[in-house]
Structures are given as C-alpha cells and as structure tokens.
Amino acid sequence: MPSRVAAVAKVIVCSSTNSSSRPGTAVPSRPVATQPQARKLHIPTQITLKSSPQTAAPAAYRAVSLSLSSLLHRSLYISHPRRYHHSTKMDAALAKLFVSNAQWVKAVNTTESGFFEQSAKGQSPKILWLGCSDSRVPESVVTASRPGDIFVHRNIANQVHPDDDSVLSVLTYAVAVVGVEHILVVGHTNCGGAAACYKAVTADTPPPEPTTPLARWLAPLTALAGKLDLKDIPESEALTKIVEASVRAQVENVAATGPVKDAWAGGKKNLWVHGIVYELETGTLRDLGITRGHPAA
C-alpha cells in the first residue's frame, strides 16, 4: 500500500476547512475516528485522496468530503469490518469512487426527487446488453442511459458459450422474468480478447492446447479467427474482422439458447437479437444488420 500512495497527499475527509490553505495543498489532518474507536471498529483514522487545484480547493469538493466519512462508516467499514481490518488508509482510486458517488447521489436527489425510492421498487428494462468487460465500453455511459434502462451481462470478448451457466442464467432471467425485448450482442474495436486470438493464429506455430481459464474461454474465438482470411491485411483491420465475425457468431449462439428458443416457441414475437459493434475511435455504435427474431415475425 505505501508504494501505491507514496505520491498521494493525505487529505482527511473530516478535516475542517482551512482558509489559509493554498489550492493544491493538503488540508490539515483530523482523524476520521479516534484511535480507540478505530481499533475497536477496524476503521481507518484517515483516507487518502489526490491533492490538486481541482480537488483540494473548491468548496463543493470539501463539502462532499466532509460528509464522506459517515458514508464510509455505514457502507464500508462498519458493515464489513473484518474485510478491512488490516486497512489504515484508503487508496486514492477507491476513495475517488465514494466521493464521486456522493456527488452523484446529491445531484440526482436535487434534479429528480424520489428517483432512488422508485428504483428500489423494481426494474423493467427492455434491453439486455451482452458486452465485453473492457472498461472503455460502459453501456450506460455510451448510451446515456439511466439506472434501470439496461439489463447487463459482460465478459471477456463478449462471448456466448452454449454451456456457460452464467450467460444462460442471465438470458433466462432477462427474458422470462424481467421481460426484455431486445438482446444486444455488443463487440468493440481494439478488443484485447480478439487481439490475443489474432496473435495465436498468426504465430509461426499452431496455437497450443489451452491450459489456463482465459485461454479456454477464448478457445472458440481463436478457432473462429483461424478460419478467417487475415493474410496481407493490417492488424487493425484483422482485429475488426475478428470482432465482427465474433458478434455474428454470438448472435447465432444467443438465438440457439434454450431461453430464447423457448420464448419464441411460446409466442413471444417481440424478442429480438441484434449484433452491434462499438467503435472506440469514434464512440459510436454500429449495427451489423444481422438481427434475429421470431420466425413468424
């Protein structure tokens, strides 16, 4: 932990505002909890945040920070004391999540009072997003959607394996219980999984037998990539070709699953499976035009 926060200034969220502090300097320390309390409850006496003109100076930031300790006590340390009993500091990246969450909650309550109470009553999204785990493709952000709009399942390279209970359980719940109408298989350009498969099939030697969880997971995609004509084209084009071929294959895999076939057999004509590619370079979604639906639709 010390090596990770060596360059991070200590800013105590319960510190009082010091009018003499210059922007970019750390606010004088005050414990989040007294030492005896901290030892008893296993909560840290301070957390760490990056100190900069953008974070240390504005009054709005300090106001959110001052209320953050109670949020941390309720949701993190007191609720799960054993899990964090070795912690004396909060990593800056983690602390930033709690600060941002507090700011978001305050903004939502200001603009749409009662949103969270209504959200807690249930969900009825019409879209299921089967996407990649890549951090650059957060479905709610890239579609400007609200909480409750999209039911989500993400994994490495947005694969749909016929024997994967995880994706099958998501499909079952989404179709039979939640009532989604559109299943989106969403790949993306510059996919790390596709890149790994490309390297495997373009190496001088045949791909080795998969022996790791990741290699086994990507084995079907590697096999698919090996069937494509990837010779004499730039790697970037080859990756896009693999991504598009994978999305097409996963759409067929989704259409062949029990939950989807059962829904269609039961007369659910408003259930569609779409193939989409998200382009990192432009931020846009591209429909591949391979939508599958009820045979009679």
Task: Dump the DSSP string for 212-233.
Answer: SHHHHHHHHHHHHHHTS--TTS
Q: Residue 156: inside a domain, yes or no?
A: yes
Give 184 or 26, the one with higher predicted confidence.
184
Structural domain containing residue 15: 1-120
Task: Give the mean model confidence (pLDDT) for residues 273-292.
Answer: 98
| Number of structural domains found in the chain | 2
Tokens standing for 41?
């409850």
Residue 293 lies in a domain: no
pLDDT of residue 14: 34
Pinpoint the alpha helices (H) of the chain: 35-41, 59-72, 92-111, 115-119, 139-142, 165-172, 192-202, 213-226, 235-255, 258-265
Tell whether the model's pLDDT for residue 13 goes beyond 70: no
For residue 294, being part of any structural domain is answered with no
Which residue is associated with the tokens 């759409």? Answer: 251
Q: What pTM value is reported for the model?
A: 0.72
Cβ atoms of 48 and 11 within 8 Å: the answer is: yes
Structure confidence by residue, pLDDT tens digits, 154-211: 999 999 999 999 999 999 999 999 999 999 999 999 999 999 999 999 998 888 899 9
The stretch 22-39 carries a mean pLDDT of 40
188 belongs to an annotated ligand binding site: yes
* Per-residue b or e along 140-159, where b marks 16 or more CB atoms closer than 10 Å to that residue's CB: eebbeeeeebbbebbbbbbb
- CA separation for the pair 42, 26 (Å, rounded): 25
CA distances for 270 relative to 241, 266, 295, angstroms: 30, 11, 11
Same domain, 225 and 276: yes
Given this model, what pLDDT does residue 208 score?
86
Q: Which residues are catalytic?
A: 132, 134, 136, 188, 191
Tell me, yes or no, whether 113 and 136 share the same domain.
no
152 and 93 share a domain? no
191 is in an annotated binding site: yes
For residue 38, pLDDT beyond 90: no
How much is the average pLDDT of 144-152?
97
* Least confident span in 72-86, 210-224, 249-263, 283-297: 72-86
Task: Please check the confidence at residue 40 and state whether its pLDDT lies above 60.
Answer: no
Q: Which of 56, 91, 120 is the last residue of a domain?
A: 120
Please check whether residues 62 and 203 belong to one and the same domain: no
Report if residue 295 sits inside a domain.
Answer: no
Query: What count of other Cβ atoms lies within 10 Å of the Cβ of residue 54?
Result: 11
Annotated binding residue 132:
yes
Please check whether residues 58 and 103 belong to one and the same domain. yes
Q: Does residue 106 sit in the same domain as residue 185?
A: no
